């Protein structure tokens, strides 16, 4: 799997997440603020970039992804 394939998959995943959040809402304030104030394509690319940085950090440090705890 080449880097273009990975980029395509990140883009597809980010566009699906943005579409879902736009239609049904999200508990992620960063994503909702971006969707409310920025063009959709910019949000998708920013989200794909954020996902790529998370994946890289997990691979580089050998960690496990844990979503941030929700504030009560």
pLDDT in tens, 14-48: 999 999 999 998 888 899 999 999 999 999 999 99
Q: Is residue 25 part of a domain?
A: yes
Q: Is residue 11 part of a domain?
A: yes
The percentage of the chain sitting over the pLDDT mark of 70, rounded to a whole number, equals 93
Average pLDDT, the chain: 88
Number of domains the chain contains:
1
Q: Is residue 68 part of a domain?
A: no
Q: Is the pTM of this model over 0.85?
A: no
Burial class, 44, CB count within 10 angstroms (exposed 0-12 / middle 13-18 / buried 19+): buried
Q: Is residue 18 part of a domain?
A: yes
Q: Is residue 37 part of a domain?
A: yes
| Domain that residue 46 falls in | 3-61
Burial class, 26, CB count within 10 angstroms (exposed 0-12 / middle 13-18 / buried 19+): middle
* Per-residue pLDDT, 72: 46
């Amino acid at each position: 799997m080449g880097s273009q394939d990975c980029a395509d998959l990140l883009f597809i995943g980010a566009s699906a997440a943005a579409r879902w959040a736009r239609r049904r809402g999200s508990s992620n304030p960063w994503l909702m603020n971006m969707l409310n104030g920025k063009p959709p394509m910019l949000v998708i690319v920013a989200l794909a970039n954020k996902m790529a940085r998370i994946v890289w950090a997990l691979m580089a440090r050998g960690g496990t992804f844990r979503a941030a705890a929700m504030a009560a």
